Structure 1
Amino acid sequence: MHTLARTVQFFTAAALVHRASAFRRTFAAGRIASPRASRSAMAAAAAESGGAAADAEREAMQRFMAHQKTAAKLPYPVQARSVFAYAPGYAVLSTLCKADEGYPAGAVVGFAPGADGLPIFFLSSISGHTQDLLASSKASLTVTAGNFDGADSARVNLLGDVRKLTEPADVAAAREVYLAKHKDAYWIDFGDFAAFRMTELRKVRFVGGFAGAADVAPADYLATAPDAVLAYSAGVASHMNDDHRDSTAAMVRHYVGLSGIEDAHIMSVDSLGMQVRVKRAGGESFKLRLPFPRPAESRKDVKDLIVEMTRASAGAS
């Protein structure tokens, strides 16, 4: 409604300025006899123009919402698994506080994504959260997407049991995975650090942004794989944002049907399309889904699809 209100104000003001200019020209030429009558006519015309503009904007937003409702998106289990797999490697670990029984405690910790979709940690024995886990394995990990920038960005919460690894083979395997994610983490070999792992997954909560939340069944989460295209999404998005922002805006106008696009910034690219943050002439900024005409299975597919969509959108206003 805020978008609609601002649009109505903009078009109404523009219409008034236009009508006022026309009135001054006509009056100066002596073609009207009654300024009062002309003012009434001008007000009526402005109201009619503003109403038409509001109707057009309302219809455009209805088309936009209908498009977004059916736009191809990754299934929730794939989205959740992808956020976890491609996150920068730091997240909020929540534990049951040993020092204040019954209260939750949170700490930002490093983690590495295991191939099975569960997190691996190397924690210091002197840390409060380590003592919490040794007293109770109940914990959760909240992981944000690499491009997280607010409440409309993706995050996933894994709820389960985190336990210390004791078998030498398990510790060695965890060390290899952790160092693959955190190459400079030499400190994991210090004597006061130990390997921990989430061994049981009880619940998965995924939030992909506004109106995009779901509880994902642990079995579905564990059975799926992260989206392959998202692995190189950052490079594709960076290239488009640096060199082809006008093309992205044209694609939004052409495929989504939104006008007044001043800027379009690609947030991420997956096998089914792109997440784009747009800014409209009225000042509002929001994210939308820009789907591909067909799924992409490789980096070449992504390039070919974007070129195809750019050509189809050429000249869109």
Structure 2
Amino acid sequence: SSASDNMDEETTFWQKVQSHQKMASQLPAVERVRTLLDRSSSGMLSTFSQKYDGYPSGSMVDFACGEDGCPILAISSLAVHTEDLLANPKCSLLVTKDPADRTDLIVTLHGDAFFVPEDKREASRACYLRKHPGAFWVDFGDFKFVQIEPKCVRFVSGVATAMLESGDFTEEEYKSAKVDPISQFSIPVASHMNRDHGEDTKLIVQHSTGIQVDHANIIDLDRLGFNVQ
């Protein structure tokens, strides 16, 4: 009986969560995707291996997105993925909102990589260094800038939960989406609220959802509200 009661309580809890999530204002999925890529600085680059013909090859890489949403990488001529891209520019870049949480937003950008020509190098360099100011090695002779031109962008979130959501966007849809202007303040605002106003956040959650909680930490925020854990 006790086990049955606990199951009923958990079912009721998740029903309330789902009901709240359906009513809550959220950014359009394409804006969440565009914002995640803009705010991210590293991901998994997958290329077609030249050493192991026909098999994919993965590399952890740093990147920065330009104003058009195209990822810009600084890669060495000594890197395996450089050889792969020279032979076949088709690639993908996987980015996660929270690497430790597989239920959170995961985005895969599929596209064609091209080496930035010399007359556009300075713009790419400036973009990359804004995201990675300590990357002095980009001026080494063996480093080149590569830009990935998106063809399709896929996303999934809520894996293995009742909040599963997935979809894909064309190049035009992705590039025309706006980066949320408030997301850049997520870390300082969340840190301040969690440190100094945790009780207030808990009361907001209880008032908004009707769910009693022991605590509530802000994870991130955008122009429409904030996510809590």
* Equivalent residue, structure 2, for 1:110: 62
Q: 1:180 to 1:6 in 2, by over 3 A?
A: farther
Question: How high is the sequence identity, in percent, across the aligned residues?
Answer: 36
Q: Distance in 2 between matches of 1:181 and 1:9?
A: 47
Contact 1:159 1:202 in 2 (8 A): yes
Q: Which has the higher contact order (CA 8 A, sep 6+)?
A: 2
Q: 1:23-69: CA deviations, max 9, x gaps?
A: xxxxxxxxxxxxxxxxxxxxxxxxxxxxxxx4x76555433322212
Larger-gyration structure (1/2): 1
Give the alignment partner of residue 183 of structure 2, picking from 219, 230, 250.
230
* Gap runs ≥5 in structure 1: 11-53, 278-317
Read off the aligned partner of 2:28 and give its amino acid letter: P
After superposition, the CA RMSD in angstroms is 1.9
**Length-normalised TM-score, structure 1:** 0.67
SS of structure 2 residue aligned to 1:269: strand
Give the alignment partner of residue 114 of structure 2, picking from 140, 163, 184.
163
SS of structure 2 residue aligned to 1:101: coil
Q: How many residues align?
A: 224
Task: Find out whether 1:202 has 2:154 as its counterpart.
Answer: no
Q: 1:98-127: CA deviations, max 9, x gaps?
A: 101110000001111111001111111011
SS of structure 1 residue aligned to 2:214: strand
**Length-normalised TM-score, structure 2:** 0.91
* Gap runs ≥5 in structure 2: none
* Equivalent residue, structure 2, for 1:174: 124
Q: 1:58 to 1:121 in 2, by over 3 A?
A: closer
SS of structure 1 residue aligned to 2:216: strand
SS of structure 2 residue aligned to 1:132: helix
Contact 1:90 1:109 in 2 (8 A): yes
* Equivalent residue, structure 2, for 1:42: none
Q: 1:60 to 1:175 in 2, by over 3 A?
A: closer
Greater helix share, structure number = 1
How far has the Cα of 1:9 moved from its partner? Answer: 4.4
Read off the aligned partner of 1:203 and give its amino acid letter: C
Q: 1:180 to 1:9 in 2, by over 3 A?
A: closer
How far has the Cα of 1:6 moved from its partner? Answer: 5.6
How far has the Cα of 1:243 moved from its partner? Answer: 1.2
* Equivalent residue, structure 2, for 1:217: 170
Q: 1:254 to 1:135 in 2, by over 3 A?
A: same
* Equivalent residue, structure 2, for 1:79: 32
Read off the aligned partner of 2:86 and give its amino acid letter: L
SS of structure 1 residue aligned to 2:121: helix
* Equivalent residue, structure 2, for 1:150: 101
Q: 1:6 to 1:138 in 2, by over 3 A?
A: farther
Q: 1:182 to 1:63 in 2, by over 3 A?
A: closer
Output aligned runs, 1:1-317, within 5 Å: 8-9=5-6, 54=8, 58-59=11-12, 61-87=14-40, 89-145=41-97, 147-166=98-117, 168-199=118-149, 201-210=150-159, 211-259=164-212, 261-277=213-229
Q: 1:119 to 1:132 in 2, by over 3 A?
A: same
* Equivalent residue, structure 2, for 1:295: none
Read off the aligned partner of 2:44 and give its amino acid letter: V
